[in-house]
Structure 1
């Protein structure tokens, strides 16, 4: 009898790819936190204002859960829109001075909706440093996409001027999620106006941090009233909750309700998260000093790193990268920090370009002087490690 052909193993290629990632220092693993957070000083989370465990948010979320239940029970167009959702949208609209607001169950989905719905049948011009959610949204838009170099306004305008498409959308982070620098929003908007394009700005790392009252980078640039700017935000960073939102003109909000697939087909944000975000907006309005505290702490961290000979940027918001080069160096640096009482983010390709693996430190408004002393000790050890590489 002829020999039986061996059935191909559909998981073999996955094991092979995993082995290659491990050899390249790109293997990832879940890190499970405990309620006491292991006693480490947190410089890895996006809890910029220190509100995620604030008792006021916890109580608001608990009360809303008792009233509305643990879930929203359906999509926003069916049963998933509660009175709390409408209140949060009104408050976000007023706080940011936007024309309208629409709440999503995550900032990722807010970006998907904004870019795919507004960039349909248009040229999409995307900045090279944009977040992965924007990259995915560009791909899903099915439109032609031009990726321009980091903060290169001339390249953006050239792409817009040379287009064959009637319509165009420019999309950028406000504060870039790894480098921590600020997009040239005024110049980008001027270029978009000259070329008849819509500007979408992801304010995920800017809301609650940029501007005197944390109203975001668009507001700080004096552009909040411009109807041709669309903002996306997350509720899970400075606002200490979960979810996201799109801020824009009434026509934008109507378009997303009618055509935004990640809005139409997704279950609405849980009421407890909505209530927590509402409370966070209240806190921002009543404690306007918090955004300035975050920025001050971030600059202190960057200054500390430079004093120790580490490569970093001048932060616009809370994000402070410490560039170390190869993935192995970043992994080792994160371990050194943990051993000395500091949890630091570790970013490797594809989150950053090859050769730019880094620690990403994120400042918090409630970091104390004692915390800074511990952090200095950890970064001193990282600097010593770098010298010996």
Structure 2
């Protein structure tokens, strides 16, 4: 029998053991954990909409009309008018022909990838893609070829030497590095080699592009350039669920083939209406995005000045590279002792030797919040010197 206890002990010794943190109250910059207030810099609520009064009011108003549960799958009797309205709003907002509402981003990636590729096909996946993309590739049973992060030249060579149906899938904004994929170049090479391009814009939707339409809109990439767009609604959109947008033909195909869409109960329709309300806030949120970019720019300048190593990111995801698992845990703990919640990210979420603090910003953070973070990072700077003794 497999020794599960020994495996857990090994994870603890390697600094890889994971624990859950209980949070009380709503999601906002100041969270309550075990009765202690912590200023959080680890949420994906980039626009501060997870606790927005308009969203809460929209949900409250929707419940008498829609009820609570989805009750059945979309293909039985669970596809509510509210779901359909959200799909129409998402298609229009992203300038796509059609859209489908999925229960989670993980389910969207697994369902879309495994539906659009199968045995005999080839999927090309960026080496730093999210776990949900990786698992979708495995589930498809297609041949999977991974290309070095953002390496379009190598991808072009791989595509040129491969025949048959080809699917290229990438994150738009990479969740652990915060950088943006070379989307224009990817679109060009996919068109040249007859490959279908899928972009998961979970961390770009709501933040990047005109009116928060996402990373594809930021680079002016249309449905013709990038046929399949996947987006998450539990991050900048502040609610829950996910969507896939693209040509009506492919959306119809996914209704027939995407198992994570077909064989699961529909999300509560009231959440769909609350998301519609938050789409209005995203569209009208230029002031929020401007403030967010101001925080990011100032953080980058001051963190580098303190001697911290950052990644080349202009998004709300700002990793501080540490390297050693034990040192990054110590730094995270030292910040928590000062009233800050900043998550330590370790393998296998990131490659070996690339442990980091994943600092994320929200439009709800104030300049004073950033002052407090920078003061704490200055006080904890001494921990970086312990890397030489640990390594």
The alignment's TM-score, normalised by the length of structure 2, stands at 0.94
1:302–1:313 Cα contact (<8 Å) kept: no
How far has the Cα of 1:168 moved from its partner?
A: 0.4
Distance in 2, matches of 1:368 and 1:320, equals: 17
Is the contact made by 1:60 and 1:276 (CA closer than 8 Å) also made in structure 2? Answer: yes
Distance 1:346 1:276 in 2: 32
Task: Answer yes or no: is 1:128 the counterpart of 2:118.
Answer: no
Residue equivalent to 1:246: 244
Using the alignment, how far apart are the partners of 2:44 and 2:323 within structure 1? 23
Aligned-partner SS, 1:39: strand
Q: What is the alpha-carbon root mean square deviation over aligned residues?
A: 1.4
How far 1:125 sits from its partner (Å)? 0.2
Cα distance, 1:303 vs. partner? 2.0
CA apart distance, 1:227? 6.0
Query: What is the deviation of 1:291?
Result: 2.5
In structure 2, list runs of 5 or more residues that go unmatched.
Answer: 26-30
How many angstroms does 1:249 deviate by? 0.7
- Which residue in the other structure is 1:141 paired with? 140
Partner of 2:217: 219
Report which stretch shifted further, 337-346 or 15-24: 337-346
Show the 5 A alignment for 1:145-224.
145-164=144-163, 166-224=164-222
Q: 1:352 to 1:93 in 2, by over 3 A?
A: same
TM score, norm. by length of structure 1: 0.94
Structure 1, residues 86-131: CA drift from partner, whole Å, max 9, x if none? 1111111111101211000001111111111112242100000100
Structure 1 equivalent of residue 24 of structure 2: 34
CA deviations 1:255-294 (Å, max 9, x no partner) are: 1100000000011111232122111101112233323332
Matches within 5 A, 1:45-84: 45-84=43-82
What displacement does 1:228 show?
A: 4.7
Residue matched to 1:21: 11
Question: Deviation at 1:313?
Answer: 1.7
| Kept after mapping to 1: 8 A contact 2:211/2:284 | no
- Correspondence 1:90 to 2:80: no
How many residue pairs are counted as aligned between the two chains?
378
Residues of 2 paired with 1:339 and 1:226: CA distance?
51
Which consecutive aligned stretches of 4+ in structure 1 deviate over 6 angstroms post-superposition?
Answer: none
Cα offsets for 1:123-156 (capped at 9, x unmatched): 1000001000000001011000000001000111
Distance in 2 separating the partners of 1:295 and 1:82: 37
Distance verdict in 2 for CA 1:335–1:66, change over 3 Å: farther
CA distance in structure 1 between the aligned counterparts of 2:145 and 2:5, rounded to whole angstroms: 34
Alignment deviations for residues 153-207 of structure 1 (CA, whole Å, 9 cap, x no partner): 011111111113x110100001100110010000000000000011000000000
Query: How far did residue 306 of structure 1 move?
Result: 0.8
Residues 44 and 360 in structure 2, CA contact (< 8 A), matched pair in contact too = yes
Q: Is the 8 A contact 1:127 1:172 kept in 2?
A: yes
Tell me the distance in 1 between the aligned counterparts of 2:358 and 2:226: 33
Q: Give 3-state SS (helix, strand or coil) of 2:230's partner.
A: strand
Shift of 1:387: 2.1
Structure 1: runs of 5 or more not aligned: 1-9
Partner of 1:3: none
